[in-house]
Structures are given as structure tokens and as C-alpha cells.
């Protein structure tokens, strides 16, 4: 099949005017000028007309569990209050409600042109029941703040559930590791033992890890000063807070990586630090102290970072240090986070919000944060995120005008997709 469009935005350089993509089975087999492709391929032509054809978008951080919480939680005075509010809402939901919520979320992300998602779920045992309509990396979200003695057991149960879940047919041939991972929720809700156990499983099974880190000012206050609303809330529910009052959240996290690396017998060197970070997809990193940047520079670690611009606005976090993190060589991606702190699951809306926050960043670079960059975070840089021969045929189209800047038009697109192909 040949798909022709006014512009093909390959994410491999300059967009191709009057371009086309050859597709066979679930793969892209050819890309170039329409006339040239047509001359070497006599198969059926689908002409999308005045559209830009681009790779399907990749959401690097989402919780479809909470699709049903849209507009349920207005902004709160403190982050701790928001956790209280979401806990109240979660207490009303049954497993059936969650499964319905996840399915509803899949419909919405697909409507907005997302063809791959990194999705955190608190219900790994139900993943088997869900037929995801797009490529999905499931991450089991793990919290042991009330039951730290169960850390290993929780990790092992989740590993069993996700490790034995059948992948969707579109995912039948994923290279670069299994399409699932573990998500110790955050330093304030997951114990050090839980983090270490996740590290251990990740090494053994070659899976990815993700966590929420340095998200709020209150998290910084809790770990650095042993005070503030989040600190008080967690102390009240019985968390051992003896690890607070010293380091920043990032300092703690790097300490955990260092400890587990040592206890697992790895030689510690710069190269090791760099590869250790590679399996971690870090959501947020909004609150960083100057000494955190010094630590990052010294550690030589390379992390994948997910910024969620609209959830960031909802919580009124400190300005995201995009330029400094990019300068350190980190792979910055965009994600929607959940509808408990966002209005929709549209990555186009995230790109526009990012552009508003960072107007000097080019639309091409912004689009990389929802295509090439998250593909790299998921270790799919040779299969997803670009229109390239051999890559998966995950494609979407948005309106394109003559003489317009294709990247600018894609980022400005405000609507739902009416043409999509997943594999």
C-alpha cells in the first residue's frame, strides 16, 4: 500500500513535499517523493490529500486508571491535599470501574493520535483482561507506604502478572526488552527496599523502570527539611520519616541507584552510571536545587525525563528546567499524566502548552518530544517514532496547508485525528 500526503514529516530531517510512504504488512518499506515511490511500487494508493503524514505520537507518562476522574479534583491548596482528594475518589472505585476507565482512556488517546503509550497502572493483575488498541508499555505502579514489610512480595506479584500477560497482537515482535516495567510510585510512597527490588528485577528481566521524582516543592521540603504538608501527611499515616531532613529527592534517588548497583555486584564506573540510568524513565523532575545539578554533572548519569506541561500548570510547580536538563544531555519527552490533574489525553495540547512555556524551542524539537525521544526511552528507537524503512507502520495525519511550516502546523493542531494506522 502507498499512502500519499501533501507533506510527509518523517522526523528524519526536512519534511517531504508531495511525499508518500510504502507500507507492507505492519512495516514501513519505503518513503520519499510520491512520483518516485509510485514508479517502483504498483500497489494500491491511499491519497490523504492536504494533510501532513507523521509518525504516531508516543505518550511517555500516563495513568489510564484515572480517566474516570476527569474534572473530579479541582486544584488544591497543597500537594498533600491533592493526594488526600485522589485517595477519596479512588476509594469509590471497584476493579470493574478501573478496567472501564482504562478502556475509555485508550479510546481517547487514540482519538488524539497516540499510537504508543507508557501507562502506569495500580492493577497489574487486570492487564490480561484488557485488549489495548495501541502499543502499550504497562508499568505496575507500586506503593508500600502503609505496608513496607510487603515490598518484595508486591514487586514479585506485579512481575508475575505483567510478565505473564499476553502482549497485544500489534506488539507481537518487540525488540529491546519486554513491553512492560515496574513503577515504584515515588520516594515518599515506595520504600528503599521496594526500589531496590525493582532494580533487581529490571536487571534480571531486562525491563524498564519509571518513577515520579522531585515533582513538588512539598517533596523537596519533606526530604531536605523534614517539614511541610507532605511530610506531615505521610508521618501521620505511619511512614518512617527517618530518611528526611538531609538530602534532596534527587540526591536520595541517586543514592538508591548507587546502593543497588553496589549490592548487585556491578563495577562502579562512569560508563556504568550512564547505562544504569538508561532503564529509568523519570516523570517530572520539577524541583531541583543547585546541588542537584552538581550531582547530575558529576554522576554522568543519563536519564529519560518526562515533562507534563498541563499537569505541571495545574499544580503550579516551579518552572521546569528544560534548558539545563537538555544541556546535560537528558532525553526529554512529553506525557499527559492522568486526568486527575489534566483536562484531556491529547499530546497535541501538551505540545502547545510546552510551546507557550518555552517559545524559543522550535516546533521540530517539540515534536521530537512526542516521537523520537519517547521511542528512545522505550528502547524502540529503531522501530518507532520516525517514518523510516523497517519501522512499524504507526502513522497519523493532520491538516497541512501549502507553504506552511509542517512542524509548526502539527504542533498547532487542535482537534481529533481522523486518520490513523497502528501497525
Interface residues toward Zn ion, by CB under 5 A: 337
CB nearer Zn ion, residue 132 or residue 283: 283
Minimal distance, residue 61 CB to Zn ion, in Å: 6
CB nearer Zn ion, residue 219 or residue 337: 337
CB nearer Zn ion, residue 287 or residue 337: 337
CB nearer Zn ion, residue 186 or residue 375: 186
Please work out, in degrees rounded to the nearest 5, the angle formed at the alpha carbon of residue 138 by the alpha carbons of 133 and 143.
Answer: 140
User: Given phi > 0 = left and psi -120 to 50 = alpha, else beta, which region is 18?
Assistant: left
CB nearer Zn ion, residue 234 or residue 397: 234
CB nearer Zn ion, residue 86 or residue 410: 86
Minimal distance, residue 125 CB to Zn ion, in Å: 20
CB nearer Zn ion, residue 161 or residue 338: 338
Of 282, 214, 280, 276, the C-alpha closest to 248 is 214
Minimal distance, residue 340 CB to Zn ion, in Å: 9
Minimal distance, residue 64 CB to Zn ion, in Å: 11
Task: Name the one residue in this structure whose C-alpha cell is 487486570.
Answer: 126
Of 107, 125, 94, 96, the C-alpha closest to 64 is 107
Minimal distance, residue 141 CB to Zn ion, in Å: 8
**What is the 3-class SS of the chain, one letter each residue?**
CEEEEEEECCCCCCCEEEEEEEEECCEEEEEEEHHHHHHHCCCCEEECCCEEEEECEEEEEECHHHHHHCCCCCCCCCHHHHHHHHHHHHCCCCHHHHHHHHHHHHHHHHHCCEEEEEEEECCHHHHHHCCCCCEEEEEEEECCCCCHHHHHHHHHHHHHHHHHCCCCHHHCCCCCCCCEEEEECECCCCCHHHHHHHHHHHHHHCCEEEEEECCCHHHHHHHHHCCCHHHHHHHHCCCCCCCCCCCCHHHHHHHHHHHHHHHCCCCCCHHHHHHHHHCEEEEECCCCCHHHHHHHHHHCCCCEEEECHHHHHHHCCCCCCHHHHHHCCCEEEECCCCCCCCCCCCHHHHHHHHHHHCCCCCHHHHHHCCCHHHHHHCCCCCCCCCCCCCCECEEEEEECCCCCCHHHHHHHCCCCCCCEEEC
CB nearer Zn ion, residue 73 or residue 422: 73
Minimal distance, residue 69 CB to Zn ion, in Å: 13
Minimal distance, residue 352 CB to Zn ion, in Å: 20
- Of all residues in the shown chain, the one whose CB is closest to Zn ion is 337
Minimal distance, residue 337 CB to Zn ion, in Å: 5
CB nearer Zn ion, residue 51 or residue 336: 336
CB nearer Zn ion, residue 63 or residue 197: 63
Minimal distance, residue 184 CB to Zn ion, in Å: 12
Task: Name the one residue in this structure whose C-alpha cell is 524498564.
Answer: 208
Minimal distance, residue 216 CB to Zn ion, in Å: 12
Amino acid at each position: 500500500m502507498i499512502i500519499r500526503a501533501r507533506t510527509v514529516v518523517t522526523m528524519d530531517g526536512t519534511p517531504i513535499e508531495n511525499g508518500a510512504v510504502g507500507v507492507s504488512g505492519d512495516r514501513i518499506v519505503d518513503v520519499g517523493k510520491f512520483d518516485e515511490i509510485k514508479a517502483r511500487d504498483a500497489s494500491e494508493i491511499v491519497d490523504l490529500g492536504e494533510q501532513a503524514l507523521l509518525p504516531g505520537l508516543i505518550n511517555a507518562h500516563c495513568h489510564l486508571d484515572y480517566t474516570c476522574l476527569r474534572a473530579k479534583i479541582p486544584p488544591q491548596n497543597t500537594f498533600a491535599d491533592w493526594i488526600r482528594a485522589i485517595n477519596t475518589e479512588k476509594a469509590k472505585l471497584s476493579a470493574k470501574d478501573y478496567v472501564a476507565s482504562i478502556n475509555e482512556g485508550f479510546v481517547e488517546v487514540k482519538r488524539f493520535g497516540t499510537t504508543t503509550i507508557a501507562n502506569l497502572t495500580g492493577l497489574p493483575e487486570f492487564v490480561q483482561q484488557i485488549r489495548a488498541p495501541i502499543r502499550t508499555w504497562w508499568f505496575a505502579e507500586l506503593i508500600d507506604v502503609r505496608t513496607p514489610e510487603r515490598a518484595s512480595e508486591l514487586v514479585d506479584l506485579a512481575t508475575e502478572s505483567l510478565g505473564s500477560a499476553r502482549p497485544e497482537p500489534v506488539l507481537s515482535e518487540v525488540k529491546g526488552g519486554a513491553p512492560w516495567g515496574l513503577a515504584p510510585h515515588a520516594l515518599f510512597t515506595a520504600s528503599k527496599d521496594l526500589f531496590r527490588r525493582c532494580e533487581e528485577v529490571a536487571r534480571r528481566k531486562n525491563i524498564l523502570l519509571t518513577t515520579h521524582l522531585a515533582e513538588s516543592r512539598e517533596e523537596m521540603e519533606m526530604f531536605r527539611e523534614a517539614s511541610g504538608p507532605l511530610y506531615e501527611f505521610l508521618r501521620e499515616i505511619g511512614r518512617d520519616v527517618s530518611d528526611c531532613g538531609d538530602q534532596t529527592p534527587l540526591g536520595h534517588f541517586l543514592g538508591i541507584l548507587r546502593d543497588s548497583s553496589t549490592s548487585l555486584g556491578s563495577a562502579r564506573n562512569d560508563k556504568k552510571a550512564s547505562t544504569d540510568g538508561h532503564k529509568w524513565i523519570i516523570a517530572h523532575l520539577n524541583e531541583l536545587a543547585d546541588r542537584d545539578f552538581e550531582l547530575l554533572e558529576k554522576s554522568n548519569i543519563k536519564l529519560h525525563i518526562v515533562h507534563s506541561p498541563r499537569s505541571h500548570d495545574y499544580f503550579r510547580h516551579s518552572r521546569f528546567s528544560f534548558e539545563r536538563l537538555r544541556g546535560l544531555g537528558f532525553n526529554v519527552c512529553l506525557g499527559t499524566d492522568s486526568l486527575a490533574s489534566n483536562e484531556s489525553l491529547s499530546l497535541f495540547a501538551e505540545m502547545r502548552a510546552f510551546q507557550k512555556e518555552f517559545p524559543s524551542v522550535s516546533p521540530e524539537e517539540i515534536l521530537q518530544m512526542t516521537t523520537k525521544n519517547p521511542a528512545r526511552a522505550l528502547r524502540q528507537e529503531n522501530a518507532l517514532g520516525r517514518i523510516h524503512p523497517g519501522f512499524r507502520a504507526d502513522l497519523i495525519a493532520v491538516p497541512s496547508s501549502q507553504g506552511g511550516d509542517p512542524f509548526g502546523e502539527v504542533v498547532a493542531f487542535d482537534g481529533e485525528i481522523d486518520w490513523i494506522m497502528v501497525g
